[in-house]
Amino acid sequence: MKHILVTGGSGLLAQQFKTITARDFNFFFPSRAEFDLTNSSLMAQRLEELKPHIVINTAAYNLVDRCEIERELSWSVNATAPQTLAELCAERNISLVHYGTDYVFDGAKQSLYTEWDTANPLNHYAAGKFAGEQAVLRASPQHLVLRPSWVFDWHPTQTKTYIHTVLKAAREGRTLKSTTDQCSVPTFATDLAQWTLELIRQKAGGLFHAVNDDGISRFDWTKIILEEAVTAGLLAHAPPVEPVLSSFFNSAMRRPNYTVLSNAKLAKVLGHNLGSWKGGLRKMLAQMK
């Protein structure tokens, strides 16, 4: 049996590993205090004590706008910590799984991004995440980096996801506005966790784009959330959504407007299609009900 240490144990993705039944894996979910990613000596001590075969790092500072303000903190979590952890794991022959982001691309391509496309981060969050990705890949060929996008799922305590925000606004009768010029791929966290374990079983290393099928605009994603919520009995009716451009929100931070990732490499390695995110959305809404 393989022993797996999962960081970020209170987060959305870590929660999905807690719900997976896998007879070939034994999971540890240390608290932040028990495995502080900014404390290298503590991490080294815990790795020696627990002796995991694999570490899955789900921890990240992903408040994108706050990263522009809290630059030192976000860089320490998204760039420095993954590098330190990757090196500590490599020294002990421990495989590390780390999660990057679609935000490493600038959106200029306007067609599916592959793992071989050149990254060009537009903001501090993306720059930190890209630095973390590269550090992990440099540390060992057996380390694994997965890039998801627009990750969603049900969580027992986290109720501030985009889906929650949309449903709350609809229930309160507020006007919904959503961007037509921001496109990516919603990714069901339960699927992402399953793909991760499949790759671990194959002893895969390197970089993979880990997203469901079907890129979509933020506007259409919002409309589908509302329609599915009606079907699930969470809303009486789907309110209209006003289409706007990203410029409407006057954000000072640059964001890529197109980050639809190709999942062809991952699908080929796993030997099956990765499937639509629509099934995951329905499962999440059913749990919310």
Q: Would you say residue 3 has pLDDT above 90?
A: yes
CB 7 within 8 Å of CB 57: yes
Q: What is the mean pLDDT of the chain?
A: 93
Confidence of residue 231 (pLDDT cuts 50, 70, 90): very high
For 133-191, how does the pLDDT look when each residue is reduced to its tens digit (9 = 90+)? 999 999 999 999 999 999 999 998 887 789 999 999 999 988 899 999 999 999 999 99
For 205-229, how does the pLDDT look when each residue is reduced to its tens digit (9 = 90+)? 999 999 999 999 999 999 999 999 9
Q: Is 285 part of a structural domain of the chain?
A: no
**pTM score:** 0.95
Q: Is 253 part of a structural domain of the chain?
A: no
For position 157, what pLDDT does the model report? Answer: 87
Instruction: Note if 113 is an active site residue.
Output: no
Q: Is 194 part of a structural domain of the chain?
A: yes
124 is in which domain, residue-wise? 2-154+186-213+259-275
For the chain, the domain total comes to: 1
Q: Is 289 part of a structural domain of the chain?
A: no
Comparing 206 with 64, the larger pLDDT belongs to 206
| CATH value at residue 132 | 3.40.50.720
The whole-number average pLDDT for the span 64-89 is 91
Q: Is 232 part of a structural domain of the chain?
A: no
For 25-47, how does the pLDDT look when each residue is reduced to its tens digit (9 = 90+)? 999 999 989 999 999 999 999 99
Distance CA 123, CA 137 (A): 21
Active-site annotation holder among 103, 125, 162, 258 = 125
What sign has the CA pseudo-torsion 187, 189, 191, 197? positive
Q: Is 220 part of a structural domain of the chain?
A: no
Of 32, 99, 96, 114, which is closest to residue 62 (Cα–Cα)? Answer: 99
All residues at 6 or more sequence positions from 99 whose CB lies less than 8 Å from its CB, including other chains: 13, 57, 58, 60, 145, 146, 147, 148
Q: Is 205 part of a structural domain of the chain?
A: yes
Q: Is 44 part of a structural domain of the chain?
A: yes
What sign has the CA pseudo-torsion 37, 186, 276, 212? negative
